Copies of this chain bind each other. A is one copy, B any other.
Amino acid sequence: VANEFALISRYFKRAPRRARLGVGDDCALLDVPTGQSLAISTDMLVAGQHFFPGTDPYRLGRKSLAVNLSDLAACAALPRHALLSLALPEANEAWLAAFSEGFWSLADAWDVELIGGDTTRGPLTISVTIMGEVDARHALRRDAARDGDVLWLSGCTGEAALGLACLQDSHPGSEMSGALSAVLTDEQRRQCLKRLEDPTPRVLLGQNLRGVANSAIDISDGLLADLGHVLQASGLRADIELSQLPCAPALKQVNDQALQRRCLLSGGDDYELLFTASLSMTGRIQDIADALQLPLTRIGTLHKAVGDQIGLIRLHEADGSLFHPQHHGFDHFAVASDQGGERE
């Protein structure tokens, strides 16, 4: 039976190439190149809260890094180093082998070095801290959106939420028991589950938006909730054209319009980038979309706001009327489901 240190060594210890000192000392030591700032972010994933207890460990290893890479992307930073802390109910080697394989598959793809962490017994919890480099003048911040900015969205939202609905659908007593299985093809269902369990961080997009976008955020809590963070930080309000929102084929197939809208606007776990840029950047953004072969869609505009209007999001239907959603986003501690507060 391997002990804690042997387990860590076997699956997570690799000699650092870039850091001065990696896994295995009290601290890791790293250098930040002159002119660059260190961008750092951390996310904690808890079994039963962020993922179902039986989730494929390979995908979980990927996702635990992906959600952090997504934060670096939203900041336009170059991924460099990561710390990984794990609480595990038992020293399950098969689980660790698959989890670490998934983690490394994404770490290697983005040239991220694992330089430290912690391992302990406890309810399955994964805490990753990620570090990257960015020239602070080009870092994309939430508080730098401007009056008149165009609001852009990468890819599309809602598939991850639909994937989650599919998983819940397969549990007895669920809200919409069996309804989804009937309308989605196997391929669509697989695609939605992949979006949920193995999201693609938009790292290259973030780096390409340096000097192009004014602000950015990654969509983890849902489009409306995360847009709300940008608006609050920048003191603005927004108009969104609902007809402009890109809609994945699987989502189009859902007959329930309320569910469809909820997935699109408040689903969360999308890890797309929501960014704002002045109108004059439109051509450059379209060039970036072409170069990365990633759809970038204009979905609205931002406007000056004062007082109560700060954070207001108006959702325009094609006929000119306004849509009033019931859910704004995911809040781990909200008591009522619309706790985030309706903004209009």
Interface residues, chain A, with chain B CB atoms under 8 Å away: 1-5, 7, 20-21, 24-32, 34, 37-44, 46-50, 70-72, 74-75, 77, 83, 85-88, 90-91, 115-123, 125, 127, 129, 131-132, 134, 136, 139, 141-143, 216-218, 233, 331-335, 339-340
Contacts and interface: CB of A to CB of B under 8 A. Distances in A.
A32 B38 contact: yes
Contact of A136 (B2, B31, B91, B218): B31
Contacts of A31: 32, 37-38, 136
| Of A7, A21, A26, most B-chain CB atoms within 10 Å | A26
Contact of A120 (B44, B118, B122, B131): B44
9 contacts: A1-B333, A2-B333, A4-B332, A20-B136, A24-B142, A29-B134, A31-B136, A46-B123, A122-B125
Given A85-B44, A121-B46, A74 B333 contact: no
Contact of A26 (B30, B50, B71, B90): B71
B331 A74 contact: no
Q: Choose among A3, A27, A43, A49 the residue with the greatest number of B CB atoms under 10 Å from its CB.
A: A27
Contacts of A116: 40-42
B87 A125 contact: yes
Contacts of A39: 27-29
Contacts of A87: 44, 46, 49, 125
